[in-house]
Amino acid sequence: MNKPKVDSERLWAGLMEMGRIGATPGGGSGRIALTDLDREGRDLFVGWCREAGCAVRIDRMGNIFARRAGTDEARSPVMTGSHLDTQPLGGKFDGVYGVLAGLEVVRALNDAAIETEAPIDVVVWTDEEGVRFQSSMIASGIFAGLYDLDHGLSSADSNGKTMGQELERIGYAGTEPVGGYRVDSYFEAHIEQGPLLESEGKSVGVVLGAQGKRCYRVTVEGEEGHAGTLPMDQRRDALLGAARMIDAVNRVAFSHQPRPVITVGAIRARPNSPNTIAGSTEFTVDSRHPDGDLLAAIGDDLRRVFAEVADEAGLGVGIEQTTHRPTVTFDPSCITAIREAADALGIPHRDIYSAAGHDACNISHCAPTGMIFVPCEKGISHNEKENAKPEDLAAGCAVLIQAILERAN
Site string for Zn ion, 193-222 (x = CB under 5 A): ------------------------------
Helix (H) or strand (E) holding 353: strand 349-354
CB of 128 to Zn ion, least distance (A): 6
DSSP string, 322-383: EEEE--EE--HHHHHHHHHHHHHTT--EEEEEESS--HHHHHTTTS-EEEEEE--GGG--SS
| Eight-state DSSP code of residue 162 | B
What is d(CA 251, CA 246) in angstroms, rounded to the nearest whole number? 9
CB of 67 to Zn ion, least distance (A): 23
For Zn ion, the closer of residues 94 and 386 by Cβ is 94
CB of 83 to Zn ion, least distance (A): 6
For Zn ion, the closer of residues 64 and 252 by Cβ is 64
Q: Strand pairing of 78-82 and 328-329?
A: unpaired
For Zn ion, the closer of residues 281 and 369 by Cβ is 369
| Eight-state DSSP code of residue 379 | G
Site string for Zn ion, 94-133 (x = CB under 5 A): xx--------------------------------------
Bridge partners of 120?
68, 78
Question: Considering CB under 5 A, how many residues would be counted as binding Zn ion?
Answer: 2
For Zn ion, the closer of residues 338 and 360 by Cβ is 360
For Zn ion, the closer of residues 94 and 406 by Cβ is 94
CB of 86 to Zn ion, least distance (A): 9
By CB under 5 A, the residues from 315 to 374 that bind Zn ion are none
By CB under 5 A, the residues from 80 to 99 that bind Zn ion are 94-95
Q: Is 237 among the residues that bind Zn ion (CB under 5 A)?
A: no
CB of 383 to Zn ion, least distance (A): 13
Looking at this protein, which amino acid is placed at residue 221?
E
Looking at this protein, which amino acid is placed at residue 203?
S
The HSE-up count of residue 402 (CA atoms within 13 Å, CB side) is: 22
Handedness of CA 397, 398, 399, 403 (dihedral sign): positive
What is d(CA 397, CA 374) in angstroms, rounded to the nearest whole number? 9
Name every residue whose Cβ is closer than 8 Å to that of residue 394 and which is 6 or more positions away in sequence: 6, 8, 11
CB of 239 to Zn ion, least distance (A): 38
CB of 24 to Zn ion, least distance (A): 17
Helix (H) or strand (E) holding 123: strand 120-124
Residue, CB closest to Zn ion: 95
For Zn ion, the closer of residues 125 and 216 by Cβ is 125
Name the residues that contact Zn ion, by CB under 5 A.
94-95
